[in-house]
Amino acid sequence: MFNFADLEQLRRVSSGSGATMWMVRHKLTRRIYALKVIYGNRDDIVRHQICREMDILHTTDNPNLIRCHGFEDRFGKIQVLLEYMDGSSLDGRRISSEPFLADVARQVLTGLAYLHCRKIIHHDIKPSNLLIDSRRRVKIADFGVSRILAQTMDCKSAVGTISYMSPERASTPTSTTAFHDGYAGDIWSFGISILEFYLGRFPFGEKLGKQGDWASLMVAICYSDPPQAPPTASLEFRDFIAQCLQKDPARRFSAAQLLQHVFITQTKVSPFPPSSSSSSYSSSIVSHP
């Protein structure tokens, strides 16, 4: 078990939604980690939810899930020590190469299939929760913490998360106990994220994703046709996205089914060029639009 007093902060990676992410170094081993610090005097129920989510993460073991090395709840803040990914998140990135995008999708689906098989729903799949490193390994992060924090705030302040919410979830207030298939909800969020990588913009429209008002976003998600991959994309990719973005959750493919889709099984990713570093190769096909 880590002693959090043995960590030194190197730099702030990100902040928002009541939490800050730091790049830290363990003083004794000199190893680098990511430290998520969640601030605020939240009620006991919320704090219990967050700690429960961290306990779940601490027990998972899959190469496509961010590893949790420990957490503590002291002095009005929750600290979570996580595996550090040197490539940061895929938020705001465009992935124009279908082979590389298929590899990203395969890795995310592998993590989702692992979670779903263990009856764990992520609830918050989106580009900022998908991390990449210089070896092109992609891992799912943030197991429900953002969702829990968002529920304690005004719903309009959580537009970034709502943007990736499935129609059945968006049409049902999150405070109710109405039933929806959480596994299918993860798949919708995954499909929106993968399509966003390909397009280089939010599939429902740039303004709705970043600046749109809550009501317009809800109407777009619940009542408009699902976004589609453009005609310039391969037939395999277009069908793959279509299977993720079925309005009826019962018709959406599961993570296990998507892993058997032709877009995943027949798309091969080229190995790193011998003369190039993995980080420079990754940056050539994962770029800011």
Q: 73-86: per-residue pLDDT in tens?
A: 777 778 888 899 98
Q: What is the CATH number of the domain that holds 10?
A: 3.30.200.20
Of 83, 106, 123, the position where a domain reaches its end is: 83
Say what the pLDDT of residue 88 is: 84
Q: Are 64 and 111 in contact (CB under 8 A)?
A: yes
For residues 216 and 23, the model is more confident at 23
Q: How confident is the model at residue 280 (pLDDT cuts 50, 70, 90)?
A: very low
Task: Report the candidate in 274, 162, 282 with the shortest Cα–Cα distance to residue 218.
Answer: 162
Mean pLDDT to the nearest integer, 254-260: 98
In a domain, 88, yes or no: no
Q: What is the CATH number of the domain that holds 192?
A: 1.10.510.10
235 and 115 inside one domain: yes
For residue 102, what are the domain limits? 94-287
Cα 237 to Cα 234: distance, rounded to the nearest angstrom: 5
105 and 77 inside one domain: no
The answer, yes or no, to whether residue 105 has pLDDT greater than 50, is yes
Q: How confident is the model at residue 71 (pLDDT cuts 50, 70, 90)?
A: confident
DSSP annotation of 144 reads: S
The answer, yes or no, to whether residue 238 has pLDDT greater than 90, is yes
Note the pLDDT tens digit of each residue in 135-154: 999 999 876 554 544 444 44
Backbone angles phi, psi at 109, to 5 degrees: -65, -35
DSSP annotation of 37 reads: E
Q: Which residues are catalytic?
A: 124
Note the pLDDT tens digit of each residue in 13-33: 877 666 788 999 999 999 999
123 and 219 inside one domain: yes
- CA 217 to chain centroid: 19
Backbone angles phi, psi at 174, to 5 degrees: -65, -15
Q: Are 241 and 191 in contact (CB under 8 A)?
A: yes
115 and 244 inside one domain: yes
48 and 159 inside one domain: no
In a domain, 89, yes or no: no
In a domain, 128, yes or no: yes
Mean pLDDT to the nearest integer, 181-189: 91
Q: How confident is the model at residue 199 (pLDDT cuts 50, 70, 90)?
A: very high
Give the 3-state secondary structure of residue 156.
helix
Of 37, 57, 83, the position where a domain reaches its end is: 83
Count the domains in the chain. 2
Say what the pLDDT of residue 278 is: 38
110 and 19 inside one domain: no
Of 83, 102, 121, the position where a domain reaches its end is: 83
